[in-house]
Structure 1
Amino acid sequence: MGAFPSDDESVNIKTGYTMYLFRAAVQCLGLTFLSLILPSNVLMISQALAQTSSATQPKRTPKPVVQKSSGTANKQIGLKPSAVNRVSNYNSMNLNPELFQKKGESELTGNTTGNLDFRVKRGCLRRSYSEDKLPNAIGIDDRAFADFFKSKTKRFFDGMRGDCIPYAVAFGSRNRFDSLSIMNGPVQDAKTEVWTFTPSAAGSFLIQQEYLKEEAKQLTEIQIPLRDVLYDPRKVGDKLPVELVWELNGVIKQIYPEDNNSHENTNSVVRIIVDFGDKERWAQIRAVEIIDPTTKEIFSSAFWVERDGIPGGFFTSTGEALERSFWTNPLSYRRISRGVGSVRVTSTSKRVSNKKGAAPSSAEAPSKQKYRAHMGIDYAAPIGTPVFSVATGKVVHMGFSGAFGNLIILEHPGSYHTYYAHLSKFNSELELGNEVRRGFEIGYVGLTGRSTGPHLHFELRKDGVYVDPYAARMQLNLWSMRDDESGLLTSEILLLGSLAPN
């Protein structure tokens, strides 16, 4: 059972090894002597016989790197077949040498292509005789858009229902108008219609019309008590596939209103709008809300936005991006109540006192629990802790890779790669070339390779350059709303979000 030999076994091993060296030396001397006294043709025959004899000896088969994964409560569906033939040799290092080269030791210091000042305002504007002046009434100071809106919305307002006009408006930097979505009344049914207005590159404006009747064909609404989501993942797992449970946990962890702990002791529910997908589409949570089913009050919410060129992401109803946390949490959430983050991120950084030679005072903040001394982030966790893909991507490397140990590399849209190293084993369903959905269980924490203890070594790279996702100045386009995407969020808010009380 033990991993190390007993004392008797050690003696036998040493003795056997000594005899092996002795026989090898005798054989070597014997061949040298024979080469001096025998003709060359006789010596060639003897060597051929020796090779034949060696070939008949049984060869020891190396232990495979991939082992059977531990069972899960729900079958995962976030896996698409490989576009290449099944790969049996997971030890290959020649898939793409550039994946193992670190392009520059300095980190990316920032990327401000995203709209950092993005914000969303929503409400239900009381109807009046001047409905066509809605943009000005909700704070859009753009004369050209006001004229465009008035000229295009007569038919829309003729079909209004109810006593107020639901809207969601997005603003960019310097209060620039980014998008406006309006709905034909505070009723969500087969006749619900949403119009979204966005500026065009040509200097004019665009209109997109969406109907809830068409959206609803692919969507399912699920309500789960908040207490169950926070403390009983088994009940959540009965309603959602494993990867969507991981994703839901990540959303709730960030939008849960921590300033009011009483929510978890009430009848508050988590309302989830899910597209369970099909053979062509990934299953996807489209909206998450924490609400009071009695008063209909919405405590917090988040919506999924599908984006071009980069992975999609979650944003709150006020425009706050949630993606940075997803891209830095590849391990399992054990529970997701306040203070969640059950997996500690270890650190080698030392505490620095305010004065030279002075001992740290008790008032000083503790050191951050993550590595900064090397490229990557190390998450301390027990061996066997599930490791999840932080975003949808393709498996471009899977095998033993020197100091990395058992390593998986995923390629994501936008020239991003994520690295998961020191794994004890891989998910047995996974193959090189597979496409995996975010939240798919790809492997398990270990200490293979150059590792002093069980942990996951995680890296995020952009164009081959290491990105420190914890850096204060770091802002990738993954983590912010781009200017041309705001209309996607405002329309999702009106189509899929609960209607707030008037």
Structure 2
Amino acid sequence: MLAILDNCGVNKKATSRSPLTTRLLIALGCALLSLSLGLASSAQAQSSQKRKKVFIQNTKSVGFKDKSAAGSAKASSSMSLNPELFQRKNPNELILDSEANLDYRVVQGCLRRSFNEDNLPASIGIDNRQFAEFFKNQTKGFFDHMRGDCIPYAAAFTTRNRFDSLSIMNGPFQDSKTEVWTFTPSAFGGFLVQQDFLKNESKNLTEIRVPLREVLYDPRKLGDKLPVELVWELNSIIKQIYPEDNNSLENPNSVVRLIVDFGDRERWAQIWSAEIIDPSSKEVFASAFWVERADLPGGFFTASGESLERTFWTNPLSYRRISRGVGMVKASSGKRSKSNAPVAQAAPNKQRYRAHMGIDYAAPIGTPVFSVANGKVVHMGFSGAFGNLIVLEHPGNYHTYYAHLSNYNPELELGNEVRRGLEIGYVGTTGRSTGPHLHFELRKDGIYVDPYGSRTQLDLWSMRDNESGQLTREILLLGSPINR
């Protein structure tokens, strides 16, 4: 073979001097060699194409489809996994938002009118001379529109009793003439004032009253009154704010008063306020209000300023029992040996552990899994140890992971925008799973966060300085009128 190769191209001069018979044999050998090499090259090319096709098919099976308006322009990027979604990063790299107001609180009431109405800030505990002067100059016309004998107010304070926002209303009535003025400190020094009218706010809002017992114990009856995702959300709200230390449940007349935006093609349906009240005495036992955010998912806060969001971000199931949390678990010992030789036992102090990042919620197969916040589907498909996995992307560079699913919502597709409370999948035992459960993870900047950690304080669960005014104004505009 080497001689033939040499005479086919390397030593043409010597070949030309060979006898005729020899040259014919060499020519025949060259032809056969060329044919053999051509067939091998063709087989190799087909094998290469075949491997490439299998790779694409395997990528498609992960569930990635191009849902963008660009279509084929983004086809290549949509056909590959995003490694950032599965990369394990050092928890020490996580930097939490330091602007969160951990000592945030709200006070409210209805201050009796007097001749010194412009002294209202000092009367309710706002000790700020500069703001007192600003308030006095700005409200000269406001008090001319007052109705009733008291001034409803809601004021927010932060660390060291620092004034954060103040909302006042022109009387304890809610109608087309109701107006609310909100004062907040400016980031550039000084103060800002915003005027809002209930007649403008109520265009897309509807008031609904439902029995408290139905919300707590039979939410299925609410299906004809609210979208299913709002039923799930309302049940979670009421269970958090329900005051167990009074007789609100014992009172058969207790109702939940809701202010709801049913949404349209441009807006999600949204609960803006929820109150547990006694309709006869008009006593408000507890309440919660929605605060919209530009760069973070919105959140619910009570009328006293307490955030309800930590519970929402750890509540992906309607039925749940935590079987395992973030921490260290024993590592698998690998496959058992098929031989009869005894397996050497590791010493007690040599036991290997691996980090278990996430929360395992034990539940029967088929239990619905809900999105914990508004977001976008950035992964939906099988992913190794995760099994069937959905990953949602949320504003603020947060991601939530829902693993070991038995199936997905058949209407859900990659790239879909989903609302909090949407049924996205069902509990299963796919991937590396020892039994039916949901493996849930919350990640910030790609780093695992323990939502149950006592030291975990995220900007999701705190009121920031520029959001305080929205809460105090909604307490007055959307909450039941405050009685003195």
> Common fold, TM-score beyond 0.5?
yes
Q: Report if the CA contact (8 A) 2:248-2:278 is conserved.
A: no
1:432 equivalent in structure 2: 414
Give the count of matched residue pairs. Answer: 417
2:448 equivalent in structure 1: 466
Q: Take 1:172 and 1:457, find their aligned partners in 2: how far apart are those partners?
A: 37
Say whether 1:138 aligns with 2:116. Answer: no
Q: Take 2:392 and 2:79, find their aligned partners in 1: how far apart are those partners?
A: 15
Rg: which structure is higher? Answer: 2
In the TM superposition, residue 343 of structure 1 has moved relative to its aligned partner by 3.3
Query: Mapping of 1:288-307 within 5 angstroms?
Result: 288-307=274-293
Query: Mapping of 1:139-154 within 5 angstroms?
Result: 139-154=125-140
Q: Take 1:425 and 1:106, find their aligned partners in 2: how far apart are those partners?
A: 35
Which blocks of at least 5 consecutive residues in structure 1 are unaligned? 1-38, 53-60, 67-80, 335-341, 351-371
2:307 maps to which of 303, 317, 321 = 321
Q: Report the more deviating stretch, 115-124 or 261-270.
A: 261-270
Structure 1 residues 85 and 238: alpha-carbon distance in aligned structure 2, compared to 1, 3 A threshold: farther
Structure 1 residues 119 and 46: alpha-carbon distance in aligned structure 2, compared to 1, 3 A threshold: closer
Q: Report if the CA contact (8 A) 1:402-1:449 is conserved.
A: yes
Query: Mapping of 1:79-118 within 5 angstroms?
Result: 83=69, 94-104=80-90, 108=94, 111-118=97-104
Q: Take 2:71 and 2:288, find their aligned partners in 1: how far apart are those partners?
A: 39
In the TM superposition, residue 238 of structure 1 has moved relative to its aligned partner by 1.5
In the TM superposition, residue 277 of structure 1 has moved relative to its aligned partner by 1.1
In the TM superposition, residue 202 of structure 1 has moved relative to its aligned partner by 2.0
Which protein has greater RCO, CA pairs closer than 8 Å, 6+ apart?
A: 1
1:448 equivalent in structure 2: 430
Secondary structure of residue in 2 paired with 1:154: coil
Q: Take 1:394 and 1:259, find their aligned partners in 2: how far apart are those partners?
A: 40
Secondary structure of residue in 1 paired with 2:431: coil
2:171 maps to which of 185, 189, 193 = 185
Structure 1 residues 309 and 64: alpha-carbon distance in aligned structure 2, compared to 1, 3 A threshold: closer
Structure 1, residues 444-474: CA drift from partner, whole Å, max 9, x if none? 1111111111111111111111111111111
Q: Take 1:241 and 1:113, find their aligned partners in 2: how far apart are those partners?
A: 35
1:343 equivalent in structure 2: 321
Superposition TM-score, scaled by structure 1 size: 0.76
Structure 2 letter corresponding to 1:439: G
Secondary structure of residue in 1 paired with 2:439: strand
In the TM superposition, residue 345 of structure 1 has moved relative to its aligned partner by 3.9
Structure 1 letter corresponding to 2:254: S
2:220 equivalent in structure 1: 234
In the TM superposition, residue 400 of structure 1 has moved relative to its aligned partner by 0.6
1:250 maps to which of 230, 236, 242 = 236
Query: Mapping of 1:9-88 within 5 angstroms?
Result: 83=69
Structure 1, residues 248-302: CA drift from partner, whole Å, max 9, x if none? 1111111011223651552100111001111111111000000000000000000
2:390 equivalent in structure 1: 408
Secondary structure of residue in 1 paired with 2:372: coil
Q: Report if the CA contact (8 A) 1:195-1:207 is conserved.
A: yes
Q: Take 1:501 and 1:270, find their aligned partners in 2: how far apart are those partners?
A: 19
Q: Take 1:348 and 1:199, find their aligned partners in 2: how far apart are those partners?
A: 40
Say whether 1:275 aligns with 2:261. Answer: yes
In the TM superposition, residue 95 of structure 1 has moved relative to its aligned partner by 3.3
2:195 maps to which of 206, 209, 212 = 209
Superposition TM-score, scaled by structure 2 size: 0.79
Q: Report if the CA contact (8 A) 2:326-2:450 is conserved.
A: no
More helix by share: 2
Structure 2 letter corresponding to 1:238: D
